[in-house]
Amino acid sequence: MSRSQVLVVSLGGTIAMTGEPGKGVSPTLEAVDLLSSLREFSRVDLTPRSFRQVPGAELSLEDIGALADMVGSVAEEGFDGVVVTQGTDTIEETAFALDLLVDGGPPIVVTGAMVNPSQPGGDGPANLLDSVAVAASGCTAEIGPVVVFGGEVHAARFVRKTHTTSRQPFTSVTGPLGWVAEGRPIMLAKPVVRPRPLHSGLVANGRASVALLTVTAGDDGYLLRAVKGTCNGLVLEALGAGHVPSAMVPSLVELVASMPVLLCSRTGNGPVLRRTYGFPGSEQDLLDRGLISGGYLDGPKARIALTLLLRSGADNDEIRNVMEQFYGAIP
């Protein structure tokens, strides 16, 4: 039996951090260092490749676009799967952007650690072992990029970081697609539809700035005025199923005339409604005024999607069609 070839790409993050007591940690380890902590695989050959060496908070959309270019061509290099290691702060954004930018190819798995390797009980090696098992198995090739963490497999479009310190900080609104047990992935589900890929070159070549604002009780829309003239689009994390205080409506109407505005829920779980509530500032009122439903996407993912769509030159109708077709915003 031929051995699987898996590329391990390191971007930094907690999994690669070391430091002196009392001074904090920072990313110092490269991909080859991460692999040195793993046992030898009987059926997998691992190739390390250091791509970035930064905290998760430092990764830019340009970094992710360059990463998408690289992993999109690994099949031509003979690799059967890719594991990306990075900081957990932005794992959900990286995985989701790869879902939009990489068309087919070998499985892509994104992972990291909550405990740095200089502390007792670091979880990086276990997560890396599980991720290699998933990537080498090929079981997620049709699903698209996944996040493997704490023995669970999560789809890129559903996963969220929901805890600051837990060893299992990631959850999905649908639950995990499967688990990794005894070094073997056990898959139970897969998403129904995957969005069509966008060209990763647009990340570097296009220019679009998208704001993300969260609505709170008593919000008067003051911050919306700062968006006009400074950004190309807005993602609004509204209350409940897509509601805002009525005082925000006039400012939103002005914004819609000049840029696409995606309507999401700040709950991060469940779809934006369309025809249930009818008061000023309700989801029906806002959609009738030209806001675009973000469907079930949470704010950070909707911002990634809108930024990439704008950089690809999509207009309001094209953006609305993508949201309706792929993210559950069906009229």
- What is the set of active-site residues? 14
CA distances from 203 to 131, 240, 291, 312 (A): 27, 32, 24, 8
8 Å CB contact between 68 and 311: no
CA-based angle 305:311:315, to the nearest 5? 80
Question: End-to-end CA distance of the chain, in Å?
Answer: 50
CA distances from 183 to 37, 137, 187, 289, 311 (A): 16, 10, 13, 52, 40
CB-based burial, 88-120: b 16+ in 10 Å, e otherwise: bbbbbbbbbbbbbbbeebbbbbbbbbbbbbeee
8 Å CB contact between 322 and 195: yes
CA–CA separation, 155 and 145 (whole Å): 7
Instruction: Give me Rg for the CA atoms of the chain.
Output: 20
CA–CA separation, 294 and 303 (whole Å): 10
